[in-house]
Structure 1
Amino acid sequence: MNVMTERSHELRTLRDQLWAAVTRRDEHGAVDVVFTALENGMEAENALLDLIAPVQAKVGSEWAANRLTVAQEHAASAITERVIAALAHRPAARPTPRLGRVTVACVDQEWHVLPARLLAEVLTLRGWQVDFLGAQVPTPHLIAHLHSSGADAVALSSTLPTRLPAAHAAISACKAVGVPVLAGGAAFGPDGRYARRLGANAWAADARSGAQQLADGIPMHSLTEGRQQFDDLPHLADQEYTLVARAQGQLVKQVLAHLEERIPAMASYTDQQRERTAEDIAHIVEFLAGSLYVDDDDLFTTFMTWTAGILSARRVPARSLDPALDALATELKDFPRATRLLNRAQLALDGAITTTGRHPGAFA
């Protein structure tokens, strides 16, 4: 066994041990796994990104596959956060800052904090002075902090694409006060397309590349060159995003009414079942609004096929999405872009279901 193969085997073993600890809700055991790895020579950055992060990603995929309940997923995620905190509080993990100052924050309404936390810890390990503001940071509060802190750059994180309008506001506000923005997180697309569209100065796919870009220096011009403002999204002039976003609650009620007419079995739904159905419809409307904001079909179709996979894993027919899309199409028949998005999503679902019998991204 060569050195690389041996290290790969050791890492897989450590991940298995950490996975076992977090899923049996053994916080102390999880900390012991990580600290033992550090004592055996693993670098703290590698523990964060090559050990802890993949295990947390598995927590998410196992929930999607319906092999972890929501409560189990939350418990495992909470332990992961505490393991990171324990690692961060080790004296050896807090080198004297020798580089610049970076503010790391999640955009307003974004509560998925782990990606931002990982970046903050990596930057600290590399010698940056980091102001970590955490989840759901309102843009006015972020800007007030920048005025008082003298940050050299802002790293903005967002996981949910439905937060892209908030991310756009934050990016524009930071640039307006002269602070360049590094965007990161799944919300900005796997290739950073939405970071470019919303005028970020840089985009990073992960914490390592983000740290490297900050070390290299973030330019003040945007990824698309030139100054990006809200009116540089010309498609917003049709007001479709604004009207759909403002009418989300009403749209959910209207779609529910359509479904009750079309699906007689809904008459016997419990309050909990009706509430869950309303939540699912609300997510669809939210993603439709987000797709209208950036005018990107892929955002909505990807969400709908992912949702089909989630339903399939829970033994719910993916075809149950059809009536909701039909109802939305009826309500939004006078909205050309929304109609296009709904049609594209329906075609994507038809293709996935016809080809495989389930969404190809389904885990079970």
Structure 2
Amino acid sequence: MTDQSLTDHPRTGPSPAGPSPAGPPVTGPGGAGTEERHEEFFAAVSDMDEHRAVDVVHRALDDGLAPESVLLEVIAPAQARVGAEWAAGRFTVAREHAATAISDRAVGALACHPAARTEPRRGRATVTCVDGEWHAFPARLLAETLKLRGWRVDFLGAHVPTPHLIAHLHATGPEVVALSCSLPVRLPTAHATITACQAAGVPVLVGGAGFGADGRYADLLGADAWAATATEAADRLERHGALRLTPHVPGDPLAPLPHLEDQEYTLVSKARADLVGATVAGLGERFPALRDYSPRQLEHTREDMGHVADFLVAALYTGDPQLFTDFLGWTVRILGARGVPAHSLGLGLELMAQQLRDFPRALALLGAGRAVVAAAGTDTEGAA
């Protein structure tokens, strides 16, 4: 449907390492506030100028701006804007990747600056991403925020297999695990990870767009706590110190998910490859434009339909239709920015429904999704 994958960049949304809530610009002795520094930094990463971006960070710190303000009010919102530029089709994937890499190096430069060096005086925390989650930048921002607050932090980065994470917990004995998940398709894995960490005696604080803007999936999956921003996460840990965030009573981790008894999640997830393959084949027959696609475009179409299937499976796991419909609404906007008609996505959903006619929950989700796509397509056409 498009010449680049829909998830070359994660969806934007609240995360434990997102920018702190809006407030008056912070100004250091040098006179320039975070808003001005943010504009400078965004201009540098947009131009893919690493030296200029790092210089903005160093000058802000040298002028007395608080390291946490530089991290969360200069670097973090600039990176969010990079994602928005990609979503609008104004940044290529390569430019977005370059900008993200520069932002990451700028965080490293901040961490090494004398103004940001803090002796650990609190407990020990492990900050990590769910297995399969490759977007580590939000988690890194949280890790650096906790370091600035005096925590000893083990930052494990992206895509950490759960058995390796548990082995690390046994070896190091942290007071808390901070688990980041940017995409809801990782929620089943996140659930298993949360349960395993708690079984090892370590409470879990979660965050990231994958858990929902209001943290609804954090509660559903039994996390001890959820935070929308790095500031909120650090504040919450400061209030609770090294104590368990909430009393945790061992029990059946699937108890809040009785709908899983119908086996639709298990069966549809196992059939994912066949579902995607048959859907793309059907699109080739019913969507004439697909016949003129290059091999690269066809591959990205398969990836796009794979993402649709993944969000369908995640919605079957959580039992929440909004997880699926929100993704489809976002997808229509992304496709519109790339000149792809919404009806091609609607057709893909119709083809999936034909294959899943024996799965009532899946059919209901696909029906709700088709309604969202049809409405979004009408709105797009009206705006045009």
| The two structures share one fold, judged by TM-score above 0.5 | yes
Matched-pair contact (CA < 8 Å) for 2:336–2:380: no
Superposed CA RMSD: 2.0
Task: Report whether the alignment pairs 1:219 with 2:245.
Answer: yes
| Alignment-derived partner of residue 254 in structure 1 | 278
Code of the aligned partner of 2:282: H
Code of the aligned partner of 2:166: I
Identity of aligned residues (%): 53
Tell me, in whole angstroms, the C-alpha distance in 2 between the residues paired with 1:157 and 1:305.
23
Q: Within 5 Å, which residues of 2 pair with 1:315-326?
A: 315-326=339-350
Task: Report whether the alignment pairs 1:294 with 2:318.
Answer: yes
What does the per-residue CA deviation read over 1:155-182, in whole Å, with 9 as the maximum and x for residues that have no partner? 0001011110110010000111111100
Deviation at 1:5, TM superposition (A): 6.9
Deviation at 1:261, TM superposition (A): 1.7
Q: Which of 125, 129, 132 is 1:109 aligned to? A: 132
Task: Report whether the alignment pairs 1:276 with 2:300.
Answer: yes
The DSSP-based 3-state class of the residue aligned with 2:150 is: coil
Matched-pair contact (CA < 8 Å) for 2:34–2:69: no
Code of the aligned partner of 2:247: H
The DSSP-based 3-state class of the residue aligned with 2:79 is: helix
| Alignment-derived partner of residue 341 in structure 1 | 365
Worse-matched range after superposition: 345-354 or 120-129: 345-354
Tell me, in whole angstroms, the C-alpha distance in 1 between the residues paired with 2:66 and 2:194.
33
Task: Report whether the alignment pairs 1:57 with 2:83.
Answer: no
Tell me, in whole angstroms, the C-alpha distance in 2 between the residues paired with 1:6 and 1:106.
30
Paired residues in the alignment total 356
Matched-pair contact (CA < 8 Å) for 2:48–2:98: yes
Deviation at 1:94, TM superposition (A): 2.4
The DSSP-based 3-state class of the residue aligned with 2:222 is: coil
The DSSP-based 3-state class of the residue aligned with 1:230 is: coil
Tell me, in whole angstroms, the C-alpha distance in 1 between the residues paired with 2:185 and 2:330.
15
The DSSP-based 3-state class of the residue aligned with 1:117 is: helix
Tell me, in whole angstroms, the C-alpha distance in 2 between the residues paired with 1:163 and 1:6.
36
Deviation at 1:228, TM superposition (A): 5.3
Distance 1:5 1:85, change over 3 A: closer
| Alignment-derived partner of residue 267 in structure 1 | 291
Deviation at 1:271, TM superposition (A): 0.9
| Alignment-derived partner of residue 44 in structure 1 | 67
Code of the aligned partner of 2:314: G
Deviation at 1:220, TM superposition (A): 4.0
Matched-pair contact (CA < 8 Å) for 2:287–2:344: no
Deviation at 1:152, TM superposition (A): 0.5
Q: Within 5 Å, which residues of 2 pair with 1:238-249?
A: 238-249=262-273
TM-score by length of 2: 0.89
Deviation at 1:273, TM superposition (A): 1.6
| Alignment-derived partner of residue 100 in structure 1 | 123
Deviation at 1:247, TM superposition (A): 1.4
Gaps of 5+ in 2: 1-22
Q: More helix per residue: 1 or 2?
A: 1
| Alignment-derived partner of residue 307 in structure 1 | 331
Q: Which of 230, 242, 249 is 2:254 aligned to? A: 230
* Higher RCO (Cα < 8 Å, 6 or more apart): 2
Matched-pair contact (CA < 8 Å) for 1:199–1:228: no
Code of the aligned partner of 2:150: G
Tell me, in whole angstroms, the C-alpha distance in 1 between the residues paired with 2:332 and 2:160.
31
Deviation at 1:356, TM superposition (A): 4.8
| Alignment-derived partner of residue 177 in structure 1 | 200
Distance 1:195 1:228, change over 3 A: farther
Task: Report whether the alignment pairs 1:119 with 2:142.
Answer: yes
Matched-pair contact (CA < 8 Å) for 1:88–1:94: yes
Worse-matched range after superposition: 337-346 or 89-98: 89-98
The DSSP-based 3-state class of the residue aligned with 1:357 is: helix
| Alignment-derived partner of residue 222 in structure 2 | 199
Deviation at 1:34, TM superposition (A): 1.0
Q: Which of 106, 115, 129 is 1:83 aligned to? A: 106
Code of the aligned partner of 2:373: L
What does the per-residue CA deviation read over 1:273-313, in whole Å, with 9 as the maximum and x for residues that have no partner? 21111111101001111111111111100000100000111
Tell me, in whole angstroms, the C-alpha distance in 2 between the residues paired with 1:152 and 1:6.
32
TM-score by length of 1: 0.93
Gaps of 5+ in 1: none
Matched-pair contact (CA < 8 Å) for 1:99–1:129: yes
Task: Report whether the alignment pairs 1:328 with 2:348.
Answer: no
The DSSP-based 3-state class of the residue aligned with 2:89 is: coil
Tell me, in whole angstroms, the C-alpha distance in 2 between the residues paired with 1:133 and 1:73.
23
The DSSP-based 3-state class of the residue aligned with 1:283 is: helix
Deviation at 1:233, TM superposition (A): 1.3
| Alignment-derived partner of residue 9 in structure 2 | none
Distance 1:261 1:38, change over 3 A: same
Matched-pair contact (CA < 8 Å) for 2:67–2:115: no
Tell me, in whole angstroms, the C-alpha distance in 1 between the residues paired with 2:216 and 2:292.
44
Q: Within 5 Å, which residues of 2 pair with 1:65-76?
A: 65-76=88-99
What does the per-residue CA deviation read over 1:293-349, in whole Å, with 9 as the maximum and x for residues that have no partner? 111111100000100000111111122211100000101111111111111111122
Deviation at 1:6, TM superposition (A): 8.6
Matched-pair contact (CA < 8 Å) for 2:276–2:309: yes
Tell me, in whole angstroms, the C-alpha distance in 2 between the residues paired with 1:232 and 1:62.
38
